[in-house]
């Protein structure tokens, strides 16, 4: 009986959290067009999130492209379909693997960073200090970060996809003597509008979710310094879960249009 009550309690807490997150998102949309625009802080966040994630996204993308091609090559070779590798790899990476892997990396790096930074500002009363000086901490800290993640994630995904295709090209070049030109001609011959556009649109939502959850967890961080760690940790867990849900919805919606 006790476990039933605990499940009900957990369910209640989850619903409450979803409600609070929705309210937080609503506040973001309310504040986003209000002056001051805090453009300098927005650019600083774009630099921090975009430029400083390039190496991690690049290395991960390169290895994924490389491994994916290495793993699928023997099977395709058995069916005499090695020439399909550029098409298969590019469609898989651009439609699904690139966006979701890059988003998960960013949830770990950027989401946890935002959660920890804002959490630490909350427990050391820096957010309260902004509030009492009559400035709007939500606008300065939250709006700029969410906008930066929303705009930077598609750029990072684009970069990650490109590097992943280069990794795949390297394997094809070494094993099958496929040239750069031939590989990318094959890639662009098989890529279609519905491969690129829906996956690009969903990356904006991925970025928004990472920024939103990171800011939410950090902004309402409690329980002192232990709460900072908890905020960073739960920002990663919650945003990763949200990414898969968004991905499912995006693929579902894209498939409706694609089937037509």
The rounded distance, in Å, linking the Cα atoms of 205 and 186 is: 30
Part of the chain binding another protein (CB under 8 A), chosen from 20-28, 93-101, 117-125, 220-228: 117-125
Q: Helix 224-259 and helix 112-123: axis angle, to 10°?
A: 150
One residue of 83, 135, 179, 255 binding another protein per CB under 8 A? 135
C-alpha distance from residue 84 to each of 166, 167, 173, 193 (Å): 16, 16, 14, 19
The site string for another protein over 2-41 (x = CB under 8 A, - otherwise) reads: ----------------------------------x-----
The rounded distance, in Å, linking the Cα atoms of 82 and 74 is: 8
Q: How far is the CB of 202 from another protein (least distance, A)?
A: 32
Quote the distance between the C-alpha of residue 110 and its chain's center. 9
Q: Which residues contact 160 (CB under 8 A, 6 or more apart)?
A: 57, 58, 60, 61, 98, 101, 102
127 or 187: whose CB is closer to another protein?
Answer: 127
The site string for another protein over 85-104 (x = CB under 8 A, - otherwise) reads: --------------------
Part of the chain binding another protein (CB under 8 A), chosen from 64-72, 126-134, 204-212, 237-245: 126-134
Part of the chain binding another protein (CB under 8 A), chosen from 118-126, 172-180, 199-207, 232-240: 118-126
Task: State the first-to-last Cα distance of the chain, in angstroms, to the nearest integer.
Answer: 50
Part of the chain binding another protein (CB under 8 A), chosen from 66-74, 105-113, 127-135, 197-205: 127-135
**Residues engaged in binding another protein (CB under 8 A):** 36, 117, 121, 124-126, 128-136
């Amino acid at each position: 009986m006790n476990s039933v009550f605990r499940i009900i309690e957990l369910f209640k807490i989850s619903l409450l959290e979803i409600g609070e997150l929705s309210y937080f998102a609503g506040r973001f949309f309310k504040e986003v067009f209000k002056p001051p625009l805090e453009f300098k802080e927005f650019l600083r966040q774009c630099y921090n999130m975009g430029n400083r994630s390039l190496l991690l996204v690049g290395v991960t993308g390169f290895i994924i492209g490389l491994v994916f091609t290495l793993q699928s090559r023997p099977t395709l070779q058995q069916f005499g379909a090695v020439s399909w590798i550029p098409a298969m790899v590019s469609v898989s990476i651009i439609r699904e693997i690139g966006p979701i892997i890059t988003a998960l990396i960013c949830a770990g790096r950027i989401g946890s960073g935002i959660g920890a930074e804002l959490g630490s500002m909350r427990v050391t009363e820096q957010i309260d200090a902004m509030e009492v000086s009559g400035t709007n901490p939500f606008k300065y800290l939250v709006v700029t970060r969410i906008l930066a993640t929303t705009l930077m994630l598609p750029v990072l995904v684009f970069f990650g996809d490109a590097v992943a295709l280069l990794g795949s090209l390297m394997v094809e070049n070494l094993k099958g003597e496929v040239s750069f030109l031939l590989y990318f001609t094959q890639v662009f011959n098989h890529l279609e509008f519905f491969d690129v556009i829906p996956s690009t649109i969903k990356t904006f939502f991925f970025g928004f979710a990472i920024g939103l959850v990171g800011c939410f967890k950090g902004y309402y961080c409690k329980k002192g310094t232990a709460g900072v760690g908890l905020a960073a940790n739960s920002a990663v867990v919650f945003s990763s879960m949200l990414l898969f849900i968004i991905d499912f919805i995006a693929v579902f919606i894209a498939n409706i249009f694609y089937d037509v």
